[in-house]
Amino acid sequence: MINGVRVVVTGTGMITSLGHTTRDTWEGLKAGRSGIRRIQAFDSTGSPSQVASEVVDFKPEQYLDRKEARRMSRFVQLAMVAAREAMQDSGLVITEANRDQVGVLVGTAIGGLEQMEEAHTTLLTRGASRVSPFTVPMMIGDMAAGQISIAMGARGPNFSIASACASGAHAIGEAYETIRRGDAVAMLAGASESAITPLALAAFCAVRAVSTASVPPDQASRPFDRNRDGFVMGEGAGIVVLEELEAARRRGARILAEVIGYAGTADASHITAPDPVGAGAAEAMRRALVKAHVTPADVSYINAHGTATQLGDVAETLAIKDVFQEAAYRVPISSTKSMLGHLLGAAGSVEAVICVKAIQEGVAPPTTNLVDPDPQCDLDYIPEGARELNIDVVLSNSFGFGGHNASLVLRHFAG
């Protein structure tokens, strides 16, 4: 801790394919339900992959001013919904007295790709003069943080992070560090993603990263299974309210969990493939645990990155074994991407919210579709339904294209 500063979670917000609130998603995960379906956003006929984890029945005007919503891309809309839930859950009120000490850090891997595609089509078919003046503020990745700041009146540190599929974890980790060094007393932190578009799907198919298996949609994401063949694209947002402990206590906040460690590393290996033995991932976990002042034996549950790619799942397994040694075989691990798909930049923040709920309720969600375990992935991946546990310390992993690694450590708050 820097000068003894402790950082706690006082609110959560989440919108995913399993529901528009934290509770809806969490209840779905505990029940082992999948949000993966045939793509509804566009006609995917002819694509090698035709399934995704979409936020369905989402009408932004039910949550946002209609005029404002029209000027926000979908990833920003989702971030706004999650942020408002997190603020309501926390009970934090931003006033003239504290607004300079409340910041926003919301990441994304891709941002408003849909707006880029639409603007490009307009440019080619109707000419440059018909491109919307809202194209830039709708597509740039920092706009979720910017719009939340405007809506909430938060004038503290405000920026975005893009580190591919580690963006959400990095955002929460850097917000944690922002509070620890005294630059804010509270931060809304997390990430949002909505990139289920024809171009994104085609591009991920081209790089052979997504599942193309001929199986029912809810069976397409198979982390750690011998027959896994790639991730399933997902969308959604996860936001937490982080506060300096003493500030939270002064206002009588309900404390959900404590963030006690965070670290980021690089593989320095390949633009899309992980380090084969997970060296960078292992170092991120190791550093995060050291900074949290806990040992591998103290960890009650790991929320794995677990994307269901052939290389990634093996590399993460090897990394966990490297860090945890014999304890690797005793710690329960699961990949909630088996039900939610891979939310790309938002994956780490949604999974951080899931870890908070796991701590609160003493329940670790399962890894579904793990029917025929890969012999190289031989750890306890909770394959047979949610498991009740005495959960004190949780490790959450996020790894991204470009070799970005981030690990968060959260703990049950005991005063």
237-247 b/e (C-beta count within 10 Å ≥ 16 → b): bbbbbbbbbeb
Model pLDDT for residues 383-405, shown as the tens digit of each residue? 999 999 999 999 999 999 999 99
Do 175 and 10 form a contact (C-beta atoms < 8 A)? no
Residue 222 and residue 367: Cα distance in Å, rounded? 8
Q: Is residue 413, in this structure, part of any structural domain at all?
A: no
Instruction: Identify which of 226, 162, 233 has the alpha carbon closest to the alpha carbon of residue 191.
Output: 162
Q: Is residue 412 part of a domain?
A: no
DSSP string for 95-129: -TTTGGGEEEEEE-SS-SHHHHHHHHHHHHHH-GG
Beta bridge mates, 261: 409
**Residue 320 and residue 302 in contact, taking contact as beta carbons nearer than 8 Å:** yes
Four-residue CA torsion sign, 230, 235, 241, 244: positive
Token pair 């919307």 is at which residue?
Answer: 132
E strands in 144-224: 158-159, 186-193
Full DSSP string of 248-264: HHHTTPPP-EEEEEEEE
Q: Tell whether 356 is covered by a domain.
A: yes
> Is this model's pTM higher than 0.75 or not?
yes
Q: Is residue 383 part of a domain?
A: yes
Number of domains in the chain: 1
Query: Could you tell me if 185 and 102 are in contact, meaning their C-beta atoms sit under 8 angstroms apart?
Result: yes
CA distances from 302 to 132, 259, 299, 348, 404 (A): 45, 15, 7, 13, 19
Report pLDDT for 276.
Answer: 96
Q: Is pLDDT above 60 for 330?
A: yes
| Section 297-303 average pLDDT | 98
In 3-state terms, what secondary structure has residue 113? Answer: helix
Is 379:373 a contact under the CB 8 Å cutoff? no
What is the overall mean pLDDT for the chain? 97
The region, left, alpha or beta by phi > 0 then psi within -120 to 50, assigned to residue 47 is: beta
User: What mean pLDDT is predicted for residues 46-63?
Assistant: 95
Query: Residue 154's pLDDT is what?
Result: 98
Report d(CA 356, CA 240) in Å as an integer. 10
The two three-digit tokens of residue 72, written as one number: 């926000």
Residues 244-266: what's their mean pLDDT?
A: 98
Tens digits of residue pLDDT in 42-52: 999 999 999 99
Question: pLDDT tens, 67-107?
Answer: 999 999 999 999 999 999 999 999 999 999 999 999 999 99
- In degrees, to the nearest 5, what angle opens at C-alpha 279 toward C-alphas 274 and 280? 70
CATH of the domain at 267: 3.40.47.10
Q: Residue 264: its pLDDT value, please?
A: 98
**Are the C-beta atoms of 189 and 90 separated by less than 8 Å?**
no
Residues assigned a catalytic role: 165, 305, 342
Q: Is the confidence at residue 2, as pLDDT, over 70?
A: no
- 149 domain residue, yes or no: yes
On whether residue 414 sits in a domain, the answer given is: no
For residue 374, which of 232, 233, 275, 229 has the smallest C-alpha distance? 229
Query: What range defines the domain where residue 141 resides?
Result: 7-403
**Is there a domain that residue 415 lies in?**
no
Domain annotation covers residue 411: no
Q: Is the pLDDT of residue 1 over 80?
A: no
Contact assessment for residue 104 and residue 183, using Cβ atoms and an 8 Å cutoff: no
DSSP-derived secondary structure letter, 203: H
pLDDT at 4: 87
